[in-house]
Amino acid sequence: MPIVLNNILKGKPKLVINFEVDYDSSDSLVKDYFDACDYQNNFVSELKNMQKQINILSINRLPLSLSPVNRVSAIIWKPIEVI
């Protein structure tokens, strides 16, 4: 588990909203750009790999961005409560 996600989960949040570039839903030009820059931070894939610990509620691409290449998504998720 990535250190950032581990630190977030230690805080026992009720809901988390991340504003991140969503590599998986980006078009091919953006993916080519990230691949050429050796883009390593695919946050959505990390979250999907943690399905036993978290529940992804939604991933919404934001209509506006500061960059035409780095389109940001709002990723809303929460930890799965263990009873």
User: pLDDT digits over 33-77, tens only?
Assistant: 777 876 555 777 788 888 888 999 998 888 877 776 677 888 899
Judge whether 25 and 72 are in contact, CB under 8 Å: no
The pLDDT of residue 38: 62
> Which positions ≥6 away from 6 have C-beta within 8 Å?
none
Question: What's residue 55's pLDDT?
Answer: 93
Q: Report helix, strand or coil for 25.
A: helix
* pLDDT higher than threshold 70 for residue 8: yes
CA distance 57 to 33: 28
